[in-house]
Chain A
Amino acid sequence: MLQAIADIVRLNGAEKHFGAVRALNGVDFHVGAGECVGLVGHNGAGKSTLMHMVAGTLRPDGGQIAVRGNEEAVYSVARALELGIRCVFQELSLCPNLSVAENTRINHPSLTGFGWRRKAADLIRAKLDEIFPDHGISADDIAGDLSIGRRQMVEVARAFTLTREPLHLVILDEPTSSLDAHTAGQLLSFVRRFVEAGGSCILISHVLGEVLQNADRIVVMRDGKVVAADAASAFDRDKLVAAMGGAEGHQKTAAETRKVAAGALRVRARPARQQDEKELVARAGEIIGLAGLAGHGQTDLLLAIFSAAARAKAGLEVTAPVALVAGDRQSDGIFAQWSIAQNIGIRSLARLRKGLLISPQREAELAEFWKNKIGIRTPDMNNNIYSLSGGNQQKALFARALGSDAEIVLMDDPMRGVDIGTKLEVYDLVREEAAKGRTFLWYTTETEELDNCDHVYVFKNGRIVANLGRDELTEEKIIQSSFGDAA
């Protein structure tokens, strides 16, 4: 096949160490022209490190990198951009203080001189229109004002804008993690069009279905190595999960039906914009799902419930202490300067106190307990929280909520960008805690996660439009309610 010759990028024996940790252990990897390569693996398997290397943001400790057949001795971000290789990173990398057009300018050194502002605005607007026809984003919007989903849309669209530099390969690291099913579909079909037109793409996603459907070839990584690589048609979901390792056996328990004894009332809430009598009711021991398109009022309701726990509010009834697991963990969840143990303990300070001071010993005990219980992979809980991979950071945030006295746990799409192994572990934990009487309110953009819920409320335009019991829950029903005209 022609693709074998026309390599866009090829790495041979790439190695990278961070201290004692071997993030990459001799990886061979290549992407051909007009090919979409799916890259899957657990968090910490080395995917992001590998992609940083392709994008030029990390220098390999060993091995070679060649772009279009030429070996690159001094490879850097600037060189990668010159060669037409771009990356949409998993952590959002827009400047929140700049407008959408200004953020576009940052990726295009040639956008200067008189009228650059208009050129940048036209560029990003055209690309947004092309990828997400009903995006509703203006080029003058300040990035920090946009919802996380819209920010991701801008970031993806920006990577495909074209000025002086060529565009051959785009790396998409979890591009759909903050998008709802509708926009994610728009993006993936655009990626297919891009690849069919001769572009190349690396797609990293924890939603295995996306990878299976959209990639031509799939590369599976584990523990800093490539463990499997083959045409996408050679894989199915089970094979992928098996290759990634560690997640077998969990699958079935997820589908197991839970028997729910209706407990005491925990939350009764009506969204601010609700016009009819529909309201959200959650009882002790229940897992309640909040579904619908992203940004249709689910987060707002969770935040309203959260503040109602501290101060009574009309239309909201909350009868027990509340903890929130934030979705945007970088901005709303993590204390960046603090250790893992401190990040876990912050919600439970009252219990960790000894006299007037916080007892370091109790804090360490709490942290150690949750380290074992939830499986946070770190040599030392006193390390900075950023020493953890993304999935493990999210586990720490779960530990913060579950380790507290909260009887109601609000989850604001906390699983975005988390690998499937971690997800399954957390699902188990959520069910276990629910069985002990805790109540979970769980907003998620991933339909599969709703299988864990006893009840699902579908949101549209800030209102509850449907209340689906466990047995009537299907993807079609949810899509129908989120797109339907029923008010």
Chain B
Amino acid sequence: MTAIAPGTLPKSSPRGNAARARLLRGLLPALSLALVLIAIAWLNPRAISYFGFNLMLNLAIPIALATIAQMFVIAGNELDLSIGTFVGFVGCVTATWLRDAPLLGIAVLLGSIGAYALLGALIHLRNLPSIVVTLGMSFVWQGLAILILPKPGGKAPDWLLAIMSFKPPYVPFPIMAALIIAAVVHFGLMRTSYGVILRGSGGNAAALRRAGWSLLKTKIVLFALTGLFGVLSGMALIGITTSADANIGNGYTLLSIAGVILGGGEFVGGRVSPIGAVIGALTLALAASPLLTFMHIPPDWQVAANGAILIIVLAARVLISRRER
């Protein structure tokens, strides 16, 4: 047979295109954040300051943590509809037991992470749709939250208040926190060798099983991580608001899903990006309230604004994929 000389294969391979499209898609979350920031700077230049960022991005930390929590389940092709009420439940525990009886509080929070792990096991073993299971769980968490704190109140532990009001030099705390969260999770999920297995379980579960990995374990780990970051989110939220309310986290469910998708994640296939998810959360946090305030639009339009951003970014993503095909 004639030997084929290297270099006779087509040069501009479809793979090159795919890689370029992926890069563009990866930059999309950062671009949308930059766009929102530019809009804010244009409307109110004074907002772009140490103090301004502290104020505007205050609530972005719990949103970013909840988004990361959601991202772990999405990485395993599942969806968590209970993360919002779970954050609320954690908030109520934080504002009551964690302050008054720290050991009990810690035990309850660890137990709730365990509950998430068990949910993962249940969903895998019984082959249940996660949407149904977590929708049911959302009522459980909400009910528990109301039992703990029937009316708004409680108070965050002092150490938590101290952490959340930390003012580092030069870099506003929310930005620093976002960088740390993104870096830690990126390393854990995208760079470590077990992170590959976790993402692989979303990409092709059968292949993983054939290579001898336990899918039960990957699912448990993913759900436990969701629980862990849900707990962190609830605690961060109470550290900012100082007191709790059983309904405080309800909006987080959809916000977290939107953040993951805005950050370049996809619902199936194990394609997620921790850095993108944090950026997505920041974008939503900024666009929802500060931008609207500066545009003199009433806060009733918050949800609509989030929706509009989501649609615009997703449309851009589709356009990129289509053009590069």
Contacts and interface: CB of A to CB of B under 8 A. Distances in A.
Given A106-B197, A182-B1, A97 B271 contact: yes
A134 B7 CA distance: 9
Interface stretch (B10-18, B135-143, B237-245, B297-305): B10-18
Nearest to A141: B15
A112 B193 contact: yes
Given A57-B210, A106-B207, A98 B200 contact: yes
| Top 10 A-B residue pairs of the complex, sorted by shortest distance between their CB atoms | A95-B203, A93-B207, A97-B203, A145-B18, A78-B212, A483-B2, A95-B200, A112-B193, A95-B204, A77-B212
A94 B204 contact: yes
A134 B5 CA distance: 8
Contacts of B120: none
A106 B10 contact: no
B206 interface: yes
B193 A113 contact: yes
Nearest to A79: B212
B56 to A, nearest CB: 34
A352 B4 CA distance: 50
B8 interface: yes
A427 B47 CA distance: 71
A172 B126 CA distance: 33
Interface residues of B, number: 34
Given A95-B204, A97-B269, A105-B193, A55 B210 contact: yes
B270 interface: yes
A23 interface: no
Interface in A119-146: 134, 136, 141-142, 145-146
A462 B13 CA distance: 10
Contacts of A93: 204, 206-207, 210
A111 B211 CA distance: 13
A146 to B, nearest CB: 7
Q: How large is the interface on A (under 10, 10 to 19, 20 to 34, 35 or more residues)?
A: 35 or more
Contact of A102 (B4, B200, B202, B211): B200
Nearest to B206: A93
Interface in A319-368: none
Interface in B266-280: 269-271
A116 interface: yes
A13 interface: no
A81 B2 CA distance: 38
B6 to A, nearest CB: 5
Given A89-B210, A97-B269, A145-B19, A134 B6 contact: yes
A9 B271 CA distance: 39
A48 interface: no
A117 B271 CA distance: 19
B161 to A, nearest CB: 38
A109 interface: yes
Contacts of B22: 142, 145
Contacts of B196: 98, 102, 105-106
A147 B10 CA distance: 13
A107 interface: yes
Given A77-B210, A98-B200, A141-B15, 7 more contacts: A77-B211, A97-B199, A97-B203, A97-B269, A98-B196, A102-B200, A134-B9
B50 interface: no
A95 B208 contact: yes
B4 A483 contact: yes
Q: Considering residues A55, A81, A134, which has the most beta carbons from chain B within 10 angstroms of its beta carbon? A: A134
A297 B15 CA distance: 14
A308 interface: no
Contacts of B217: none
Contact of A95 (B6, B10, B18, B207): B207
A265 interface: no
A329 to B, nearest CB: 16
